[in-house]
Structure 1
């Protein structure tokens, strides 16, 4: 068994791993900062609009990269010398590693560390784990019982995230976590408060997956301190963590209690300012999604009215955003100007050339409910223009807006 374990857990030289994917690099390339990445990973990073080196966070004067041929040769030689185990020996060893978790063995930290090392080695290893019988249940069990040791919690979160990203058995994992309930969410909160940036991002991704289920979303909202910790990352987290949180907030906000809790955590103010300041289209679109969802409750609309930067930031994004995000922007403006009927916000939108912005938006070929919101907006903004002496004359519009049921 010792030889089998040695073959399965060959230590990968850290120099051979991509700092982004942590997999052995297939095509290593170096940035001007001197850091080497796998070509596919760094290309995705740069294509997402980032202009920094992921490892050093230095702003890149140039986004060009050059092949690291020496390292490529070394990796090829290392791969040729490796002696991969047979499928049978891999399965036997995985069973032996999972057994301590399943039986409640005390050495949980050591067991998870070995499994995490195996998973980190390659995408193929992660696929094996995701499809291995009993692995998902073992990891959820480990996560539920490790809310006081950060190393154990981080490895459990990493492995759970790895399974979900490899399309394991998502419904089963969701059910297992709901059965364990508070213990799992307490462990996730522990990582959010004490873990590394990487572990926090993985935790948010797991929460985002869970939040797509109503019961899971309800449990997340009921975990004291969880949403407030996530909201804090909108102000103090890095770009990748912040974007992961925005994606999560746009999913978890399906219940009224979640929306009210987010308002109480100051999310409207944080997201409005972020929308106003961000240069990333992806970040802006996720901000608009969060605001559109929160705008469907009275507390959310009141918070937006009280936040001076909100309506102004949304108006600026209507014509610049992709179609789905532009619909979210129209939804927010309609909620504030028509549903809330706040005169100050309505006048502010009108003064920012709101009528022209909405007219341009209407040319995108909306479905009827979005077009109805646009027409409603033009009517109220036309009145605001007249009241403020802006002298804008528009034709007559008629509509019936019955698409949204406010709460």
Structure 2
């Protein structure tokens, strides 16, 4: 919520992930993600069967009113109402400009006018039609990218520019200017000094431009950027920022050099903290395991994982406990360190964490063929090492051994 003389930061978790507006009637899907009732109903009525934020296939399209969040939003709205300006000031509040007014505002952007950017944000946020109109306008993107190239600009001004770019991500065909060193420096500045909302928007910008190996390396090798993204994974951070940062890191972590840099930046301990938290959301758990799976594909990552018996036991705990996606990522990690590279210390840690029971249950479940095969591989390893492993296994269920 913005006014020329009053700035009110809307908590990110009050916004609907679809409309980006404050939720009027928050409801939660079976994935745990909350949306405004009108937005998610429109999504489902259009024939979609996935969660828009996570793209996870919905086991049920039923949703449950999130009463606690609704009360928090109401309390916040009441507190904001008590700080509203008087009638004279209200007359100066920002209204959505017309298309002709936006054309005039774009011409003023060279003057670094914060008021013009604020009004353009209102225009862009209003509708898809407005975003398409602005994307087609000649002369709009140049000054916007010029702002991004100038990291010494006022942080509030840069935040408005980042917000515009984030809202128009799907409308901008050429995002290469954002890979320029100066633009990456500006994004780093927002991650270091910006509000939680603008940090989330900056991370989404990074993910949107990580489209090939070259762009992933440019982002990862920008001084200070990778450590700042890892810092965003801290469990004390906004959950929306954590989730956005995980998605971005997953997007840029395919090149081996990036994996090595991430491991050196102490990413694995941060992932361990997230997975150990009792109230971590399903989506964050899934993405943490996905990133951990990617890091386990290189030697440095595997070594750090199999040397941490507590982390291995935490991974085992997530099998069959969170979602099918989380189970697949967890089993792949365990298969990599225990079966593919046969680390005995890791095998002992998995067994002590009741891993054999989990794998036996997986063999009897409706898991994917890949997960079933990996579970069978792991059980073979444990059978070979039966003298050390089976002593801690509940023999009441040995009749379902698959071989």
Q: TM-score, normalised by structure 2?
A: 0.73
Q: Indicate the residue corresponding to 2:276 in structure 1.
A: 276
User: Alignment partner of 1:38: what SS?
Assistant: coil
Q: Indicate the residue corresponding to 1:263 in structure 2.
A: 263
Partners of 2:304 and 2:152 lie apart in 1 by 35
Pair 1:172-2:174 in alignment: yes
Q: Indicate the residue corresponding to 1:405 in structure 2.
A: none
Contact 1:130 1:162 in 2 (8 A): no
Contact 2:309 2:349 in 1 (8 A): no
Q: CA RMSD in A?
A: 3.9
Any gaps of 5 or more consecutive residues in structure 1? 1-8, 29-36, 51-59, 72-77, 399-407
Please show how residues 2-401 of structure 1 align to structure 2 within 5 Å.
20-21=14-15, 37-40=22-25, 42-43=26-27, 48=32, 62=68, 90-101=98-109, 105-107=110-112, 109-120=114-125, 125-126=130-131, 128-164=133-169, 167-169=170-172, 171-173=173-175, 175-178=176-179, 181-235=180-234, 236-279=236-279, 280-388=281-389, 389-390=391-392
Q: Measured at CA, do residues 137 and 254 of structure 1 come closer, stay the same or move farther in structure 2, by a change above 3 Å? A: farther
- 1:291 positional shift: 0.6
Q: Measured at CA, do residues 225 and 377 of structure 1 come closer, stay the same or move farther in structure 2, by a change above 3 Å? A: same
What number of residue pairs does the alignment pair up?
Answer: 346
Contact 1:147 1:186 in 2 (8 A): no
- 1:208 positional shift: 1.8
- 1:259 positional shift: 0.7
Q: TM-score, normalised by structure 1?
A: 0.72
Q: Measured at CA, do residues 275 and 131 of structure 1 come closer, stay the same or move farther in structure 2, by a change above 3 Å? A: farther
Contact 2:232 2:245 in 1 (8 A): yes
Contact 1:147 1:153 in 2 (8 A): no
Q: Indicate the residue corresponding to 2:59 in structure 1.
A: none
Partners of 1:382 and 1:371 lie apart in 2 by 16
Contact 1:294 1:300 in 2 (8 A): yes
Q: Measured at CA, do residues 366 and 144 of structure 1 come closer, stay the same or move farther in structure 2, by a change above 3 Å? A: same
Contact 1:273 1:309 in 2 (8 A): no
Q: Measured at CA, do residues 380 and 136 of structure 1 come closer, stay the same or move farther in structure 2, by a change above 3 Å? A: farther
- 1:377 positional shift: 0.9
User: Alignment partner of 2:171: what SS?
Assistant: coil
Partners of 1:14 and 1:150 lie apart in 2 by 14
